[in-house]
């Protein structure tokens, strides 16, 4: 494509979950700018409808943990786009609570959204991905999937499961479908508002990493773009930290 002004995702049809906020939204904005056709899913129906209209994308209210709803919405998304070449699973939830106080229902919910959610989406989209020339899957995991942190037994287990799930997809679905994960560190989104609204917490989180700042959604969006194009054509099953150095220690 050297020298051409064409976007990196021209003619690619991509489905993104969790696109009404944070990383999912930033990925949708970058991918729209790179020429992708987009189906955007979120449980926040009003939010996703508004963002989809702005980006000239197809928006769908959908809870990724509800398998029957996912089957229905993914079929509608494939119909609207004329097929699916790529998936980004960005929808996720976080409950940081010491294990002794963690509600069983919250543990179940994190597994259902963060791990079974991506399964539901990929299971529903597989027939379309198999018809695509070179399909890609990117799952947004977390540094919490690489290392233990206090109060994250449920969240970390869901993300560690997502990392291994993604590796197994890479193995089972190659060579025509590649599957990779991203492990963000602390990124400034609604999910981490409790942290960055507090100056002291922000400074401590920044000081903890080599790059001395919190991440921004664009950091993750650009890594997601890499995994969704032939720029990463010989990479599958990888788990890329986008964390400023958080996961080294
Ligand atoms: N922010 C961070 O520091 C951080 C770090 C590591 C990993 N992550 C992961 O990155 C991903 C994106 O998080 P974010 O920080 O952008 O959060 P966010 O809260 O800004 O956005 C998450 C989006 O997912 C949607 N969502 C939640 N549950 C859903 C469901 N069941 N079905 C459909 N949509 C649902 C929400 O409505 C929201 O729009 C998540 O998987 C999160 O676990 C975040």
Closest residue by Cα to residue 159 from 150, 151, 168, 148: 148
Q: What is the pLDDT of residues 105-121, one digit of tens each?
A: 999 999 999 999 999 99
pLDDT of residue 4: 59
Cβ atoms of 89 and 139 closer than 8 Å = yes
Closest residue by Cα to residue 234 from 165, 167, 181, 178: 178
* Beta strand ranges found along 79-234 (DSSP E): 86-89, 135-140, 177-184
Cβ atoms of 221 and 187 closer than 8 Å = no
Which ligand 1 atom lies nearest to the CA of residue 184? 6
Kind and range of the H or E run holding 172: helix 153-173
Burial label for 167, CB within 10 Å (0-12, 13-18, 19+), is: middle
Whether 155 is catalytic is yes
Check pLDDT > 70 for residue 2: no
Burial label for 7, CB within 10 Å (0-12, 13-18, 19+), is: middle
Check pLDDT > 60 for residue 1: no
17 φ/ψ angles, rounded to the nearest 5 degrees: -100, 155
Which ligand 1 atom lies nearest to the CA of residue 113? 31
pLDDT of residue 247: 95
Q: For a substitution probing ligand 1, which of 15, 16, 17, 18 has the most ligand atoms within 8 Å of its CB?
A: 18
Strand order in the sheet with 37-42: 58-61, 37-42, 13-17, 86-89, 135-140, 177-184, 239-242
Q: How far is the CA of 5 from the centre of ligand 1 (A)?
A: 32
Stretch 6-18: mean pLDDT, rounded? 97
pLDDT of residue 5: 74
Which ligand 1 atom lies nearest to the CA of residue 188? 1
Q: What is the pLDDT of residues 117-158, one digit of tens each?
A: 999 999 999 999 999 999 999 999 999 999 999 999 999 999
Cβ atoms of 182 and 240 closer than 8 Å = yes
Average pLDDT, the chain: 97
CA distances 224 to 133, 208, 231, Å, are 19, 24, 11
Q: What is the pLDDT of residues 36-85, one digit of tens each?
A: 999 999 999 999 999 999 999 999 999 999 999 999 999 999 999 999 99
CA distances 213 to 10, 196, 219, 245, Å, are 33, 11, 12, 10
**Residue having the nearest C-alpha atom to atom 20 of ligand 1:** 22
pLDDT of residue 245: 97
pLDDT of residue 249: 67
Check pLDDT > 90 for residue 244: yes
Check pLDDT > 90 for residue 248: no
Q: How many residues does the chain have?
A: 249
What is the C-alpha to C-alpha distance for residues 152 and 209, in angstroms, rounded to an integer?
A: 20
What is the C-alpha to C-alpha distance for residues 163 and 152, in angstroms, rounded to an integer?
A: 16
Q: Is the CB of 195 under 6 A from ligand 1?
A: no
Q: What is the pLDDT of residues 188-241, one digit of tens each?
A: 999 999 999 999 999 999 999 999 999 999 999 999 999 999 999 999 999 999
Catalytic residue among 155, 165, 227, 246: 155
Q: Is the CB of 18 under 6 A from ligand 1?
A: yes
Check pLDDT > 80 for residue 104: yes
pLDDT of residue 229: 98
- What's this model's pTM, rounded to 2 decimal places? 0.98
Check pLDDT > 60 for residue 3: no
Q: How far is the CA of 114 from the centre of ligand 1 (A)?
A: 9
CATH number 3.40.50.720 is the correct assignment for the domain at 13-187+216-239 = yes
* Beta strand ranges found along the chain (DSSP E): 13-17, 37-42, 58-61, 86-89, 135-140, 177-184, 239-242
Relative to beta strand 86-89, strand 58-61 is unpaired
């Amino acid at each position: 494509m050297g020298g051409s002004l064409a976007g990196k995702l021209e003619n690619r049809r991509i489905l993104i979950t969790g696109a009404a906020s944070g990383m999912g939204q930033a990925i949708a904005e970058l991918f729209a700018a790179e020429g992708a056709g987009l189906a955007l899913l979120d449980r926040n129906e009003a939010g996703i409808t508004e963002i989809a209209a702005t980006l000239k994308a197809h928006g769908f209210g959908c809870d990724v943990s509800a398998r029957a709803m996912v089957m229905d919405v993914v079929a509608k998304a494939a119909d609207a786009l004329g097929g699916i070449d790529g998936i980004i699973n960005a929808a996720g939830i976080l409950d940081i609570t010491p294990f002794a106080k963690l509600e069983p229902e919250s543990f179940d919910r994190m597994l259902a959204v963060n791990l079974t959610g991506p399964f539901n989406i990929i299971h529903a989209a597989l027939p379309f991905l198999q018809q695509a020339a070179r399909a890609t899957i990117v799952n947004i995991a977390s540094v919490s999937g690489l290392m233990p942190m206090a109060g994250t037994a449920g969240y970390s287990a869901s993300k560690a499961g997502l990392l291994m799930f993604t590796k197994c997809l890479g193995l089972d679905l190659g060579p025509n479908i590649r599957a990779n994960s991203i492990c963000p560190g602390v990124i400034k989104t609604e999910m981490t508002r409790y942290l960055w609204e507090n100056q002291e917490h922000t400074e401590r989180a920044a000081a903890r990493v080599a790059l001395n700042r919190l991440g921004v959604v664009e950091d993750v969006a650009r890594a997601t773009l890499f995994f969704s194009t032939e720029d990463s054509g010989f990479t599958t099953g990888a788990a890329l930290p986008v964390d400023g150095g958080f996961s080294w220690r």
